[in-house]
Homo-oligomer: A and B are copies of this chain.
Amino acid sequence: MSGAHESAAGGEFTEIDHVAIAVQDLDAAIAWYEETFGARVVHRETVERDGVEEALLAVSDSYIQLLTPTSDDSTVARFLATRGEGLHHVGFRVEDCAKTLQAVQDAGVRTIDQEPRPGSRGTTVAFIHPKSAFGTLIELVEE
């Protein structure tokens, strides 16, 4: 097993950091998860550069990340307009975002971010392009 890990281009995923879900009404979605499943919001933040407001609901050591756009030209607004509400991306936790991103790029994988950048709640993040990842928008998250 360790052999497989050592030969991997990027760093190993240590956790599913979050499952991100795009919604039209953040408060309504939070209330549904709270009332139906007792999930609780542990963080809420507006990320201006991404044009989104997010709420994180804790599930064990992972999060449900509910996202809603704060501007009409944000990527989440375009996603909602074309695909509707639903699963938007998945965040995988890694130990070293810069190291993983570099290794992934060296392996020829197309990335959206060329360098790690600040994410919400003080994380360092980078997105991998879905065209290089079987249609899935993947976020690398370093806590």
Contacts and interface: CB of A to CB of B under 8 A. Distances in A.
> Which applies to chain A's interface (DSSP): helix, strand, loop or mixed?
mixed
Interface residues of A, number: 51
Contact of A60 (B14, B32, B89, B134): B14
A59 interface: yes
Interface string A1-14: 10011111111111
B136 A87 contact: yes
22 contacts: A4-B34, A8-B34, A8-B38, A9-B35, A9-B37, A10-B37, A13-B39, A14-B60, A15-B60, A16-B59, A16-B60, A19-B19, A21-B135, A32-B133, A32-B134, A36-B104, A36-B107, A37-B92, A59-B92, A85-B136, A86-B135, A86-B137
A118 interface: no
A29 B86 CA distance: 22
A54 to B, nearest CB: 14
Interface string A24-37: 00001100101111
